[in-house]
Amino acid sequence: MKIDKILNNNAIVVKDQGEEKIVMGSGIAFQKKKNDPVDPSRIEKVFVMKDESKHRKLEEILSTLPEEHIEVSEQIISRAEKELGVVINEHIHIALTDHLSFALDRLANGMVIQNTLLNEIKVLYPKEFQIGLFAKTLIQEKLGIEIPDDEVGYIALHIHTAKINAGEMARTLNITAMIRDIVDIIEGCLNTEIAEDSIAYERLVTHLRYAVQQGESAEPFRELAPEMVPIMKENFPESYQCAERAGQFVKSEYGVEFLDTELAYIAMQIQRIRTRTIL
């Protein structure tokens, strides 16, 4: 295996059995030049991008972004693979590295972007958020830059969407924003803010995620008790009407329709918060 192109000190392009690959490893290209043999003991990661555009984009990332940004990003990705125990889509090496480098440049210039979905991200993707907190510590240690929790949330989203079958970033953001909108409607009905660090808030957001997934699914994936609908309508009309209002909004704005039984479950969560008791 010989070097075909040097991207940076830690990344090269090789031709292996007629196939172009990107190879990464600490110091793998140090004091090397084209056509030099590759030291196999330095190989840490090998990428074979079937999509030509992704291959070129990864080359661009590795050859233009600061090496310290790339190194930190790769350490975060390795941590995610280890902690989550799932297959990570190779595109994360492009998406996360590009996002992280841009974010670090912004922060260096005093530009902070607020993550309005931060609290929902914490609840919906707790494992990914913990990896984001690891990234926060790593970046502080390696680069001397303290990233805010808003950026931790964005890192968590990138990791979540990179999990195979987790969906695209746009869909993940759509679901999270939908849940935020529903919470806003419920808070409006209750005329109060729900404490974002409370069990009630966590329970509500977690349930809403399942409700949204149920609404998007052609086939119900859990059993719902139909008798809940008349019970909630009769005994807790204000909570059920609030759930209906949220359902109408989601249908008109996002095209997702909740079953009546699902609205009853949402109404039950609203009633829990209203009475401050666990049913």
Q: Within a domain: residue 121?
A: yes
Residues 147 and 208 in one domain: no
Q: What is the CATH number of the domain that holds 271?
A: 1.10.1790.10
Residues 42 and 98 in one domain: no
Q: What is the CATH number of the domain that holds 54?
A: 2.30.24.10
Residues 112 and 129 in one domain: yes
Q: Within a domain: residue 190?
A: yes
**Residue ranges of the chain with per-residue pLDDT less than 50:** 221-222, 277-279
- Burial of 154: CB neighbours in 10 Å, binned 0-12, 13-18, 19+: buried
C-alpha 272/C-alpha 274 separation (Å) is 5
Residues 59 and 71 in one domain: no
Q: Within a domain: residue 222?
A: yes
Q: Within a domain: residue 53?
A: yes
Of 267, 211, 228, give the one whose Cα is nearest residue 244.
267
Q: Within a domain: residue 173?
A: no
Residues 262 and 190 in one domain: yes
**C-alpha distances out from residue 174 to 97, 161, 208, Å:** 22, 12, 13
- For the chain, counts of helices (H) and of strands (E): 11, 4
pLDDT at residue number 279: 40
Q: Within a domain: residue 170?
A: no
* Total number of domains in the chain: 3
Residues 94 and 152 in one domain: yes
Q: The domain containing residue 6 runs over which residues?
A: 2-64
Residues 146 and 194 in one domain: no
Listed in sequence order, the DSSP H helices in 20-148 are 52-64, 67-84, 92-108, 118-124, 126-143
Residues 98 and 116 in one domain: yes
C-alpha 184/C-alpha 11 separation (Å) is 47
- Final residue belonging to a domain, choices 129, 162, 195: 162
Residues 74 and 51 in one domain: no
Residues 186 and 109 in one domain: no
C-alpha 183/C-alpha 21 separation (Å) is 47
Residues 145 and 200 in one domain: no
- Final residue belonging to a domain, choices 38, 64, 90: 64
pLDDT at residue number 221: 44
Residues 13 and 79 in one domain: no
Structure tokens at 107: 């922060």
Q: Within a domain: residue 169?
A: no
